[in-house]
Amino acid sequence: MSTDAASLRAEILKLTRAYSALTHKANRPGAEAAVSFAAGVTTVPYAGRVFTEDEVEAAVASTLDFWLTLGAEGEAFEREFAGFLGVKHSLLVNSGSSANLIAVSALTTHKLLLHKRIQPGDEIITAAAGFPTTVAPIIQQGAVPVFVDNDPVTGNVRVDQLESAFSPGKTKAVLIAHTLGNPFDLGAVLEFCRRHDLWLIEDNCDALGCTYSMPRERARALGFTENSPGIAPDGVNITRYTGTWGDISTQSFYPPHHLTMGEGGAVNIVHRSPLKTYAESFRDWGRDCWCASGKDNTCNKRFGWQLGELPEGYDHKYIYSHLGYNLKPLDPQAAIGRQQLRKLRSFIEARKQNWEYLRAGLAGLEEFFDFSLPTHATAWSPSGFSWEANGCRTDCSWFGFMLRVRSTAPFSKSDFARHLDEKKIGNRMLFGGNLVRQPVFVQLCKDRPEAFRIVGNLAGADSIMREAIFVGTYPGLSRAMLDYVIAMVWAFCRR
């Protein structure tokens, strides 16, 4: 065996690929992983990592370089991911939760005009049912979340309650998630935000690859004239990926999500470049300097600044304009993400096909379950969806397949969940359900009743909390796995 570095590296990477191909067969895309499935013995996960030897090789190669901290792979991923979505900038962070924290923090900067800056006591409108770290950054930054209800059919925010949630002079932003890969009503939310000059943060953590389409004239009135990259124009509508309609959007790259780095996330700056500088400062300790790790003096005046009450010429790399964090991921994670990004379109398509396969397979069980619909759809049939007359459409890159157990069913959601568990079928509730019922918010209400505000009775969020459950649609599911899920749901209902 040759002992020069290049030859050793090549041999290590060759062996890495061989090892991964032997060891990680169950993590390959569904059709390739099918050989390892045994019905009733092998667990059908609700989500999981899907990868090949490409990702393992990339991780090892980056580790061999041993730069480790965010560097060339991170810069490349940020550039490639922004190009995929069609946004100005993408900024890597260490999780989707951190992405939401940075997105909110960026809008608190003193560098914004006062009427646009989120300050303690200002309000941010959000949805009641969902994941807690969509909401937590609002409170962590001293603002007040205003909870509006969810529509149980789509899982998304009830846009008819937005005006009731608005408080002149106090409301500064809207921060809501696209639930389980189903886009919320972006047309109505954007019009509301434009009417009141509010920021829109899209929590896109569960929805990478979803698209939202609206009639061209309506889109133009909102400031949009082009489709996202890779989407062919149809001459009638503007179609863009979710995460590209608001001012800032967030992503999660945790294993259940549409692509993974293990841990990781991103903040997407859609069109206002200065927001990238603010977000980057909060991500990188709060420093004023924008040099990447290992680089100095990209502003060509490293020792020529005078900020705060520091002496003139103080090293710009150690000037801090914000109370920030250190929320960067590692470069080997970005190397994995770049390989995942090359598979993303096939992952998205698999999620759509798996949802449709489950829906067709469970048709006929409507007496037991209410099934989800994409936003703006009015009904499902084997030939497709029927749609509202407003011309808006959604194309969902589904995170999961949600069912709601009907109140007239002869079993409860808990009965159904226990059955799925017994049959080794992974399932989840809609995350935290109605968040205001969670212990942390109950206690917060006792300690500081002014810490959040509720619009209406949140009946839809309560319905989701009590009735909703979802199973997987991720690309690692084979047809044999999906057939087993369908068979076990039918068997339970017949029983």
Residues with a catalytic annotation lie at: 257
- Measure Cα distances from 224 to 214, 216, 236, 270, 382 in Å: 10, 8, 13, 12, 33
Q: How far apart are CA 257 and CA 208, in angstroms?
A: 8
Phi/psi at 471 (5° precision): -115, 175
**Alpha-carbon torsion angle 441, 446, 451, 455, nearest 10:** 70
Amino acid of residue 189: V
- Element spanning 404, H or E: strand 400-405
Q: Which residue has 């079928």 as its token pair?
A: 425
Amino acid of residue 361: G
**CB neighbours of 270 closer than 8 A, spacing ≥ 6?**
87, 88, 243, 244, 245, 246, 247, 248, 249
List, in sequence order, every beta strand (DSSP E) within 94-226.
123-127, 144-148, 171-177, 199-203, 211-215
Q: How far apart are CA 391 and CA 299, in angstroms?
A: 47
Q: How far is CA 398 from the centre of its chain?
A: 11
- Provide the β-strand partners of residue 269: 89, 248
Closest CA to 35 of 486, 357, 354, 479: 479
Q: How far apart are CA 42 and CA 477, in angstroms?
A: 12
Please answer whether residues 265 and 80 qualify as being in contact, where contact means their C-beta atoms are separated by less than 8 angstroms.
no
- As a whole number of Å, the end-to-end CA separation of the chain is 64
